[in-house]
Amino acid sequence: MSVEIHFSLKKNYNSAGKDSPVQDRNGLYLQGTNGSTAVLIHGLTGTPLEMSYLAGFLHRKGYSVVCPRLANHGKPLEVLKHTSWQECYESVKKEIVPLFKNNSPVFVSGLSMGALLALLLAYEFSDRITGVSCLSPTLFYDGWNMPWSRHLLPLTYFTPLKQILYFKEEPPYGIKNEAIRAYIHKYYSKAGIHDLQNAEQYGYPYFPLTLFYQLYLLRMTIIPKLPKITVPAQFIQAEEDDMTSVRNSRFIYERIGATVKEMVLLKNSYHVITADQERDKVAQSLEKFFTRLC
């Protein structure tokens, strides 16, 4: 039996526009013309659609784009809840390794948990990845819309409770744009815990506690590795991030071993910056950073 707890957590959502690439069941794949490839990683419980605006923008600039669907995303919630962070990592790793054969520039960018996976790739393949961009990286749930009870989450990680607790997604869903938020709310407000017929497209309206635990394990894995990551790194985050404050980007920025690094702060967005009001600025910043490294 599932227990619903109404915490205010983000929901990844796409609003990419008419030029967006069309995804297949496994993700977004676009062949470019400039010899460089951008690997985009969506967030936990999300979908490749949340990265489609960036994908379309980079493709128009000549980049090939690979945006895989993370392991078990799009499957029933009972399957997803048992997914480990290692499985998510491997689902991206298997896509990026073949790209190294051509010795052409390969860039990686991820949103939220996807940013942590991107950093882990930069650690493992420091000699093959040209640059990494972290979008709203999620180490700590300390955004302005997070409840005080978030501090109690670690107490449940090593108890049976983590197998039965789910968190219902609530406004503002990581989106400051009111029109997009209203569209998301229309879907999520009516969704039951087993009503997942649109999860493959829109993401999940419920977040299993088991996945919070996996994110915690990933965080504990990546933090000690930060000083050893030398790949040029970019960090883009909203000053008003409702889920994870700018502390997250600054924490990584101050500890990462990269000598080439930059921080971009947004003033009119929440957590899901790839789909919110400044998504164009995010795309432009990403492309300028990659171009400079090339």
Question: Are 248 and 220 contacting, i.e. CB atoms less than 8 angstroms apart?
Answer: no
pLDDT tens string, the chain, 294 residues long: the values are 323 333 223 333 333 333 444 445 689 999 999 999 999 999 999 999 999 999 999 999 999 999 999 999 988 889 999 999 999 999 999 999 999 998 999 999 999 999 999 999 999 999 999 999 999 999 998 999 887 766 677 778 888 888 888 888 889 999 999 999 998 888 888 888 876 667 766 778 888 999 999 999 999 999 999 999 999 999 999 999 999 999 999 999 999 999 999 999 999 999 999 999 999 999 999 999 999 998
Domain ranges of the chain: 12-140+217-293
CA distance 89 to 68: 11
- All residues at 6 or more sequence positions from 236 whose CB lies less than 8 Å from its CB, including other chains: 133, 134, 135, 136, 249, 263, 264, 265, 266, 273, 282, 285, 286
Nearest to 253 by CA among 271, 229, 269, 274: 229
Q: Report whether CATH 3.40.50.1820 matches the domain 12-140+217-293.
A: yes
Q: In what helix (H) or strand (E) does residue 90 lie, and over which residues does it extend?
A: helix 85-96
Predicted TM-score (pTM) of this structure: 0.90
